[in-house]
Structure 1
Amino acid sequence: MLKRFLYLLAGLVVLLVLGTAALVALNLRGEDALPTEAGSTFEATPAQVDRGRYLALAGNCAGCHTVRGGQPYAGGLGIETPFGTVYASNLTPDAHQGIGNWSPAHFWRAMHNGRSKDGRLLYPAFPYPSFTRITREDSDALYAYLRSVPASATPNAAHRLRFPYDTQAALAVWRALSFTPAPFVPDPAQPAEWNRGAYLVEGLGHCIACHGTRNVLGATEEKRGLSGGLIPIENWYAPSLTSKREASVADWETRHVVALLKNGTAPGGSVMGPMADVVFRSTQHLSEADLTAMALYLQKLPDATAPAPAPQRRDVGTMERGARIYDQRCAYCHGDAGQGAAGAYPPLAGSRAVNMDTPANLIQVVRHGGFLPATAGNPRPYGMPPFGHVLDDNDIAAVLTYVRGSWGNDAPAVSQRDAMRR
């Protein structure tokens, strides 16, 4: 009996050793040896710094690494996830709290491999699964720019994650299952402009971080691409960029896609919520050439439009209640027939945003209000006031059910439970 137990124990030890070795190997895929050269030996050119500044805008780096009213890139912003809060790090050239003693190779490891200077695995709230696609040249330019910003001694806050998500072992398992470092590979069958758009959308733009579907471990499902998904914690839905019933721009004129990314509004729609922040902080600052490249890439995404749902049945009492609320609160701006007002208030009749299967964004806007981003092309955008202080969950559900079932709209009704979740 003892002998059998010892054999069993030995087998378990061997499996543990082999499993650990496999886990380590999977987490070292595509990595060079940990660099040791000092960051102070790096001498950036003015052109490199300027290029890095532009790339930082393309990646919206300040959006996560700057707290409201704080010093740019000094970190400290808490990013809520289903597993706890991850705090953005200090990216200024401070030697103790920032990246002042990092080398370009250390920075490249973080961008390409998701590993910090000291060898720790980084949490994917820092979107290295997308940043892994950028070139070493662009990584060095970003590094050069970040070393040019004013240094800040703001300390890095400790993440607040639940067990076991706060352990490097759990993160190593996640990475082994969900991440492989991979540079961007141009598609030889596509023109250079399309490939440039793909590089920006898939890499620095990290669009899949919001517009991708996530699995139970929180990893984006690359095979499903930009098929849309609920943004964790924020409860905004990033619509599918491959569905003509949601946010595909395949049928748009290219100039209108560029206008949406540059101005936040276009003949086919406008942006609010998290996407308004992306336009305000990032895409409005990009060159016309890069915006056009992104537009061409987005227009050629494969069509994954789902069949239209069956006609919806409406509760008469709910529709009547919703109609009264709409007349009191909404008709003045959006019109008696949901026609909107050109250049000011968007039409609700026939709107893709209104007719999407999920009402998440509509609930957010009615409850909390929202504005388009202020941009050079739309410096004084009209906005939506919040109604959460005057409408309860039942009221919000009723008025949205009415809007989603009137003037030719035919989207599913909104329940009180739907409204309570947001």
Structure 2
Amino acid sequence: MRRVLWTLAAVLLALVAFVWLFNYWGGPRVHDKAPTAPPSREQVARGAYLARAGNCMLCHTERGGAAYAGGRAIETPFGTVYASNITPDAETGIGNWSAAHFRRALHEGRSRDGHLLIPAFPYTHLSRVTGADVDALFDYLRSLPPVNKPNRPHRLRWPYDTQAALAVWRTLYFRPERYQEDASRTPEWNRGAYLVQGLGHCGACHTARNALGGMRDVVDLSGGLIPMQNWYAPSLASTGEAGVADWRVEDIQELLATGNSPRGTALGPMAEVVLHSTQYLEPRDLRAIAVYLKSLPPAPGDSDPREVPRASPTLIERGGQIYQDRCAACHGDQGQGVAGAYPPLDGNRAVTMPVTANLVQVVLHGGFPPATRGQPRPFGMPPFAPVLSDGDVAAVLTYIRSAWKNKAAPVTELTVAQQRASRRE
């Protein structure tokens, strides 16, 4: 027994040593000083564009607060993370950072003093951004007006608030990676892959996470539930979810530029991405993203629709009546919709996806496309949470998912109740 205990202790010590070496040893200390010369206008303009591509301001700006001054609360399953001040204020922002410090933050997930950053900051993806682009981002940020706003301490549960826990997490789920161009692909494809995998960090939402918040692969885009938001970021490879292999490149570009296209509409978190980021991208970059997304290997197909369970005739009848009373005026008696205004529901894969979280969200809380330059006054859908019960919502969604050409499983009242309750929390 003593020998077994000593063996277990030695193994545990070896694991601890490995974690420590992987996270704390081997990286040279950064002694560079903050630059004093102002950046060039060209560099600032390039950095501003890249900040839009990375949607940096959305997280690093508190509602009603100064741009990039931090303070926005980001809810996670482990507690609340508050975005940091990244204006060039010397006391509370990054005014004393050097370009090398900033590179280390994006590429290695470490702050100026070397402590490990919480992966709500998506350095798992940003490690793929080139050094030149990171430098341009840094030059843009240091050109902003400094805002003296102290960073709020995170409110994470123990042990997730410890550096030791972060060290273990990084050992399991993080390896700094540089984007490597695929010589067998076109420059346009490689540009799209670089934007999606790096600055765009699309996988941060469109990839499933495990109980510890880890991802099996940061370039996996097979879909996942966005923690704490109850929105599902659908698979970008599955034709039954949000795969675009059969879309025209122009339709993908239009969706990213305006939030609406003949093939789909951006709602929920994706509407925010279009509003704050993709609508500002150059057409050539939007086209590159579209080309890359069209090339994703197709995901395995869903089960045979003949195997889908059927709802009771009584529930279908109830849902059909609610649809006629509440929905048909916009979406049509046959779910055909109105081009350019209200999306069709008949044959709409957003309606028939196995995961129904987004449908429930839209009916309960409304669906609002972004107001963009290409679509300044989009048509939205009002929330029905005040006027429809959980049973009503389940009934009308079950009806829509089984009407016309649609063949999808019923939505349960429990599913609706859970999402309504989580929103109140």
Q: Using structure 2 for the length normalisation, give the TM-score.
A: 0.95
Q: Partner residue of 2:16?
A: 20
Q: Partner residue of 1:268?
A: 263
Q: Which of 296, 300, 303 in structure 1 is aligned with 2:291?
A: 296
Q: Are 1:48 and 2:43 counterparts?
A: yes
> Are the equivalent residues in 1 in contact too, given 2:88–2:144 (CA < 8 A)?
yes
> Are the equivalent residues in 2 in contact too, given 1:40–1:103 (CA < 8 A)?
yes
> Are the equivalent residues in 2 in contact too, given 1:213–1:224 (CA < 8 A)?
no
Letter in 1 for 2:281: L
> Are the equivalent residues in 2 in contact too, given 1:34–1:106 (CA < 8 A)?
no
Q: Partner residue of 1:337?
A: 334
- Separation in structure 1 between the aligned mates of residue 218 and residue 120 of structure 2, nearest angstrom: 20
* CA deviation string 1:313-358 (max 9, x = no partner): 1211111111111111111111111111111100000001001011
Q: Partner residue of 1:72?
A: 67
Q: Partner residue of 1:388?
A: 385
Q: Which of 79, 95, 111 in structure 1 is aligned with 2:106?
A: 111
Give the CA deviation at 1:219.
1.3
Q: Are 1:364 and 2:361 counterparts?
A: yes
Q: Are 1:157 and 2:152 counterparts?
A: yes
Moved more, 273-282 or 213-222: 213-222
Letter in 2 for 1:26: F
Letter in 2 for 1:256: D
- Separation in structure 2 between the aligned mates of residue 12 and residue 396 of structure 1, nearest angstrom: 54
- Separation in structure 1 between the aligned mates of residue 116 and residue 399 of structure 2, nearest angstrom: 49
Give the CA deviation at 1:41.
3.9
Give the CA deviation at 1:217.
1.3
Gaps of 5+ in 1: none
Letter in 1 for 2:410: A
Q: Are 1:416 and 2:413 counterparts?
A: yes
Aligned pairs (5 A) from 1:7-406: 14-27=10-23, 32-41=27-36, 43-222=38-217, 225-311=220-306, 312=308, 313-406=310-403
Letter in 2 for 1:49: V
SS at match of 1:175: helix
Relative to 1, partners in 2 of residues 1:138 and 1:405: Cα closer, same or farther, differing over 3 Å? same
- Separation in structure 1 between the aligned mates of residue 317 and residue 393 of structure 2, nearest angstrom: 13
Quote the sequence identity (%): 55
Relative to 1, partners in 2 of residues 1:411 and 1:418: Cα closer, same or farther, differing over 3 Å? same
Give the CA deviation at 1:298.
0.3
Give the CA deviation at 1:69.
1.1
Letter in 2 for 1:236: W
Give the CA deviation at 1:421.
2.1
Q: Partner residue of 2:422?
A: none
Q: Using structure 1 for the length normalisation, give the TM-score.
A: 0.95
> Are the equivalent residues in 1 in contact too, given 2:197–2:218 (CA < 8 A)?
no
Moved more, 310-319 or 410-419: 310-319
> Are the equivalent residues in 1 in contact too, given 2:86–2:141 (CA < 8 A)?
yes
Please provide the CA RMSD for this pair. 1.7
Relative to 1, partners in 2 of residues 1:182 and 1:223: Cα closer, same or farther, differing over 3 Å? closer
> Are the equivalent residues in 1 in contact too, given 2:266–2:369 (CA < 8 A)?
yes
Give the CA deviation at 1:224.
7.4
> Are the equivalent residues in 1 in contact too, given 2:371–2:378 (CA < 8 A)?
yes
- Separation in structure 2 between the aligned mates of residue 98 and residue 176 of structure 1, nearest angstrom: 28
Give the CA deviation at 1:289.
0.7
* CA deviation string 1:280-324 (max 9, x = no partner): 000000001111101000000000142343333121111111111
Give the CA deviation at 1:124.
0.7
Q: How many residues align?
A: 417
- Separation in structure 2 between the aligned mates of residue 43 and residue 402 of structure 1, nearest angstrom: 61
> Are the equivalent residues in 1 in contact too, given 2:253–2:290 (CA < 8 A)?
yes
